Amino acid sequence: MIQPQPYEVQVLETPFHSRTAELCKTNEWSTWSGYTTPDVYTNMELEYFAARNTATLFDISPMTKYAITGPDAGRYLDRLLTRDMAKVNPGRVAYGLWCNDAGMVIDDGTVFCLGENDYRLCSQERHLPWLLDSAIGYEVAIEDITAGIAAVSLQGPTSCAVLKAMGFVGIEELKPYAHAEFQLGGHPLMISRTGFTGDLGYELWIEPAGAGELWDRLMEGGRLHGIRPLGSKALDMTRIEAGFIQAGVEFFPGDLSTRPDRLRSPFEIGMGWLVDFEKGHFIGRRALLREKQTGSRHALVGLDIAGNKPAHHSFIFQGRNKEVGIVTSALWSPTCKRNIALASLRTPYDKAHGLWADVYVHREQKWERIKAPCRVVDKQFFNPPRRWATPAGDR
Amino acid sequence: MTPAGGAYDAVIIGGGHNGLVCAAMLGRSGKRVVIVEAASKLGGAATSGEFAPGFTVSSCAHILNQLHPKVSRALDLSRHGLKLSTARMGTIALAPGGRHLTFEGALMVNEAVNGAGEVLSQRDLSSLSRLRRRLLRFAGLLHDFQATVPPRLDATSWRDGLGLARLGWAVRRLGRDDMRELLRIAGSNIADVLNDELDSDLLKGAIGLDAVLGTGLGPRSPNSVFTLLYRLSGRVGGVPGALALPEGGMGAVTDAMAAAAKANRVDIRTACPVKSIVVEEDRAVGVELESGEVIRAHAVVSNADAKTTCLDLLGARHLDTGFVRRVKGIRARGTAAKLHLALDGLPRFSGLEARDLGRRLLIAPSLDYVELAFNPCKYGEYSPAPAMEITIPSIHDTSLAPPGKHVLSAVVQYAPYDLKGGWQAAKDGFMDRIMDILSAYAPDLADRVVARELLTPEDLEQRHRLPGGHWHHGELALDQLYMMRPVAGAAQYAAPVPGLYLCGAGSHPGGGVMGAAGMNAAAQVIKGGKQS
């Protein structure tokens, strides 16, 4: 077979491509970090309801993965990330984010502690130059292992039941943000209790050679548990309900943006809880300390908006016509039965009253403008107890 | 060791001239200061050394043309023993055929003396006079800003805004024509400017060499007009662009600075290399010596270059990645070698009288000669026909050599720091090439040599702790100047770690034996790092 030249390759295919391509009936695809992935397999609503009521499979192989190893790996991550990594032990996963010198967020991601001095960092965007330059003075090796690991996210209330049906004994005891090693068809398989839907769910990590079998076994194990492949559009609905931020939406990656004033600090996207000033120096610490003293410019809030029209990218006004911010993500939440949004507001804003979203709806050749009153609410719109329960339930 | 009554106010890492100036200025304001110098003697790259029995020479920098008047005034250096053996050194541009061009006083500053040598045309004389007036005016502007603290690049405070406005106003005040001319040529190359104005190859070659001495530039490299302005920005006894020799060699300057420091109660410790800067709770609180001894101080001021200070002594772990990137990116690739010859008598240069040899002699017969010397340097090779700036300081200062004998000190370009194949193997060959070139102008020179020493940028780096063997701790390029020197985020002498300051040539305004960086840094230390 003649191999195409690198410049002839328009998109990369994930290790699950043979399976996802067969299942993607709409032929709606998008590129994610160079890989082609389905937006919708059959129907966005069906996929969304499967995520909330049964189980879904979402191919997360394109997620950028870095192996971070060496005697200084832990200290390095403590310098890179704003949170205290000393508390993250082998078998645990930590959500974190990292900043540039000005304390502005570069990206968020998860760090898997695989063993002593052995970590894996997963993020949406690629950041190798920044990661390598941050390693100056540390004895640490950083390698992009994205293509070397196939990963799929199994999410939904019946996800634990699916894994049990596959024979993973004791999987229900796996705590949130923990991971454990299993075997599948002769391949080592790591299962972590993590995900991006805000529900009970797992992510499964395997070498690419085992990907096809993993997918098939999952679909087989989930046959009686309502399993369905999940496209990225339905995934986005679930992450908004969960109040999760996304790079390029709630914040722009600090090392990829051109306008420094558009960046956001952790405090400005509701991630202040991830900043630990006590652990010693980390990148951006001095700037964040200054911000802590002088105050932030923005706040990321959850909004409950009147009506049922999603306020996509709406301006948020206070009182008559004072513009105070913008909606970053919006959704009519089928599960919460609320018109919800994440919004970036300039501080200080008056939380108590007078906020309204300027919603435009295009209805058959006509723009209709809705001045929809809104309230600032907890941005974890959807956060069911089953997400956190151990042992995990079956439905 | 601490002074009676607790920690020092400041510990200065490195006793080069800027470290000494900074220490003395801090001492003068009542601070208790200690200098820790790695070498067994003070002075950094401004020292004198006996390279052969009885023969002493300025080991690195050999002409004093930029010592900032505010520094010598504030420290009263003449009272502390600084004497000049000449304050009006002339320049002779050597021509291969012997029709040299002689200047009384500094090149471009005093009228050319025509006599038996090269005769400048009327057109060149009037163009030179016009060019000189203009360049000195621009250089004067630089001079004014050398004793100021640069504003921050992301000017957020009104003080920073004012600093930027001051710069803009100073340029505007030149008037329409001169301002346009400054903006036109500031980033340009000296070859274009000289070719526009002058005809004499010898004259252009000499000015071209002055523009690129100690830089990684050739006369056709952009930025070489700025480096000429920088050189002309110095003053000796109020005369812009003048050249002087200190009595006893360059070490006499730092000796006087050390005396001024001691008079201001500064403790000085030599042969005390610093291992690291001690940081506690995100503040520099002292230094740890190689010996293990810790000296605590309220401020740590480093005369070392930014890369050594931040990455080796402090450690990247105390810094943010963007800053580390900038520090790592500082360009400091030395291209100048230093030649020292011990002579058993005054050599004869064809076409020159013995009394002419007290002037500075330039081997740069044309711009092409200098540019051709530069070409191999770009590819990691030394110049087969190098350009040179030669002085015979013993003519002015008999203390430097035994009676009747002399020392010759020359800057030789180009000798790249990162020579292909390494300097070990190439040094003798380069020395031979230099002697060939010198002999073409002074046929009996080789016979008069009783001892010789050639210092490559590698040697200069090791002896004087100059990064890359670069005189200025970093190229004097437009992207490494003023509010970006050594890098944005440390251009106000304060490093990002509170309590740590940079006072070396890597900071604004730069190197040359000027002392302004040390003086400005001292002012910032006194203010506690807050912007002026």
Distances (CA, A) of A329 to A260, A313, A315, A350: 22, 7, 12, 21
**Residue-level pLDDT at B118:** 75
Quick: pLDDT tens for B321-351.
999 999 999 999 999 999 999 999 999 999 9
Residue B172: count other Cβ atoms within 10 Å of its Cβ: 11
Quick: pLDDT tens for B114-130.
556 777 888 998 999 89
pLDDT exceeds cutoff 90 at A72? yes
Find, in chain A, the residue whose alpha carbon is nearest to that of B316: A137
H-run or E-run covering B132? helix B122-146
Does the beta-carbon distance from A75 to B317 stay under 8 Å? yes
Does the beta-carbon distance from A101 to B320 stay under 8 Å? yes
Residue B293: which CATH number? Answer: 3.50.50.60
**Residue-level pLDDT at B154:** 75
**Residue-level pLDDT at B113:** 61
Asked, for residue B278, whether it belongs to a domain, the answer is yes
Q: Which fold has domain A10-61+149-230?
A: Gyrase A; domain 2 (3.30.1360)
Residue in B299, B314, B326 with CA at minimum distance from that of residue B493: B299
What is the span of the domain harbouring residue B38?
A: 8-49+60-84+248-331+468-527
Q: What residues of chain B lie within 8 A of the CB of A284, using their CB? A: 320
Q: What residues of chain A lie within 8 A of the CB of B489, using their CB? A: 101
Token reading at B48: 């004198």
Whether A284 contacts chain B with CB within 8 A: yes
Contact (Cβ atoms closer than 8 angstroms) between residue A100 and residue B321? yes
Does the beta-carbon distance from A286 to B320 stay under 8 Å? yes
**Residue-level pLDDT at B532:** 37
Does the beta-carbon distance from B321 to A283 stay under 8 Å? yes
Give me chain B's average pLDDT, please: 93
Find, in chain B, the residue whose alpha carbon is nearest to that of A139: B317
Distance from CA of B325 to the nearest CA of A (A): 7
pLDDT exceeds cutoff 90 at A172? yes
Q: Which of B317, B328, B489 sits opposite A79 (nearest CB)?
A: B317
DSSP code string of B268-311: EE-S--EEEEEEETTEEEEEEETTS-EEEEEEEEE-S-HHIIII
A111/A92 Cα distance (integer angstroms): 8
B519/B70 Cα distance (integer angstroms): 9
**Residue-level pLDDT at B7:** 87
DSSP code string of B164-222: HHHHHHHHHTT-HHHHHHHHHHTTS-HHHHHHHH---HHHHHHHHHHHHTTSS--TTST
**Residue-level pLDDT at B525:** 97
Give me chain A's average pLDDT, please: 95
Residue B478: count other Cβ atoms within 10 Å of its Cβ: 13
Bridge partners of residue B297, in order along the sequence: B8
Give the CA radius of gyration of chain B.
Answer: 22
Residues whose CB falls within 8 Å of the CB of residue B5, separated by 6 or more in sequence, listed in order: none
> Cα angle at A44 between A40 and A45, to 5 degrees?
165
Residue in A67, A176, A177 with CA at minimum distance from that of residue A131: A67
According to DSSP, residue B314 is labeled I
H-run or E-run covering B143? helix B122-146
Q: Which of A130, A137, A283 sits opposite B315 (nearest CB)?
A: A137
Distances (CA, A) of B412 to A80, B337, B394: 46, 5, 19
Quick: pLDDT tens for A288-324.
999 999 999 999 999 999 999 999 999 999 988 899 9
Distance from CA of B487 to the nearest CA of A (A): 14
Whether A75 contacts chain B with CB within 8 A: yes
Asked, for residue B37, whether it belongs to a domain, the answer is yes
Quick: pLDDT tens for A174-218.
999 999 999 999 999 999 999 999 999 999 999 999 999 999 999
Between chain A and chain B, how many beta carbons pairs sit less than 8 Å apart? 40
How large a percentage of chain B has pLDDT more than 70? 96
Residue B40: count other Cβ atoms within 10 Å of its Cβ: 8
Q: Where are the domains of chain A?
A: 10-61+149-230, 260-377
pLDDT exceeds cutoff 90 at B368? yes
**Residue-level pLDDT at B461:** 96
Asked, for residue B208, whether it belongs to a domain, the answer is no
Quick: pLDDT tens for B259-297.
999 999 999 999 999 999 999 999 999 999 999 999 999
Residue in B101, B105, B150, B143 with CA at minimum distance from that of residue B125: B101
Q: What is the largest CA-CA distance in chain A?
A: 67
Token reading at B244: 């002087």
Asked, for residue B342, whether it belongs to a domain, the answer is no
- In this prediction, residues B441-470 reach a mean pLDDT of 96
Quick: pLDDT tens for A6-22.
888 889 999 999 999 99
- In this prediction, residues B375-381 reach a mean pLDDT of 97
**Residue-level pLDDT at A273:** 97
Instruction: Average the pLDDT over each of B112-121, B157-166, B461-470 and give the range with the smallest value.
Output: B112-121
Q: Which fold has domain A260-377?
A: Elongation Factor Tu (Ef-tu); domain 3 (2.40.30)
- Complex ipTM value: 0.93
Residue in B141, B197, B132, B186 with CA at minimum distance from that of residue B166: B141
Does the beta-carbon distance from A134 to B318 stay under 8 Å? no
Distance from CA of B171 to the nearest CA of A (A): 29
pLDDT exceeds cutoff 50 at B482? yes
B265/B283 Cα distance (integer angstroms): 25
Instruction: Average the pLDDT over each of B68-77, B153-162, B521-530 and give the range with the smallest value.
Output: B153-162
Asked, for residue B478, whether it belongs to a domain, the answer is yes
Residues whose CB falls within 8 Å of the CB of residue B129, separated by 6 or more in sequence, listed in order: B111
How large a percentage of chain B has pLDDT more than 90? 88
**Residue-level pLDDT at B48:** 96
Which of A 112-141 lie inside 8 A of B, CB atoms?
Answer: 130, 133-134, 136-138
Does the beta-carbon distance from B282 to A285 stay under 8 Å? yes
Does the beta-carbon distance from A101 to B315 stay under 8 Å? no
Contact (Cβ atoms closer than 8 angstroms) between residue A316 and residue A356? yes
Q: Which of B282, B311, B322 sits opposite A137 (nearest CB)?
A: B311
Find, in chain A, the residue whose alpha carbon is nearest to that of B329: A133
According to DSSP, residue B115 is labeled T
| pLDDT grade for B110, boundaries at 50, 70 and 90 | low
Task: Give chain B's domain count.
Answer: 1
**Residue-level pLDDT at B52:** 97
Quick: pLDDT tens for A347-375.
988 776 789 999 999 999 999 999 999 99
H-run or E-run covering B369? helix B367-378
A138/A134 Cα distance (integer angstroms): 9
Contact (Cβ atoms closer than 8 angstroms) between residue A37 and residue A14? yes
- In this prediction, residues B421-443 reach a mean pLDDT of 97
pLDDT exceeds cutoff 90 at B147? yes
Q: Show the DSSP H helices in A209-334 as ranges.
A: 211-221, 232-242, 285-294
| pLDDT grade for A332, boundaries at 50, 70 and 90 | very high
Quick: pLDDT tens for B227-257.
999 999 999 988 988 999 999 999 999 999 9
Asked, for residue B498, whether it belongs to a domain, the answer is yes
Asked, for residue B175, whether it belongs to a domain, the answer is no
Asked, for residue B222, whether it belongs to a domain, the answer is no
H-run or E-run covering A21? helix A17-23
**Residue-level pLDDT at B159:** 83
Contact (Cβ atoms closer than 8 angstroms) between residue B433 and residue B422? no
Does the beta-carbon distance from B317 to A137 stay under 8 Å? yes
Chosen for mutation from B277, B283, B317, B323 (greatest number of chain A CBs closer than 10 Å) is: B317
How many CA atoms lie within 13 Å of A31's alpha carbon, on the beta-carbon side?
6
SS3 letters across A302-336: EEEECCCCCCCCCEEEECCCEEEEEEEEEEEECCC
Q: What residues of chain B lie within 8 A of the CB of A100, using their CB? A: 320-322
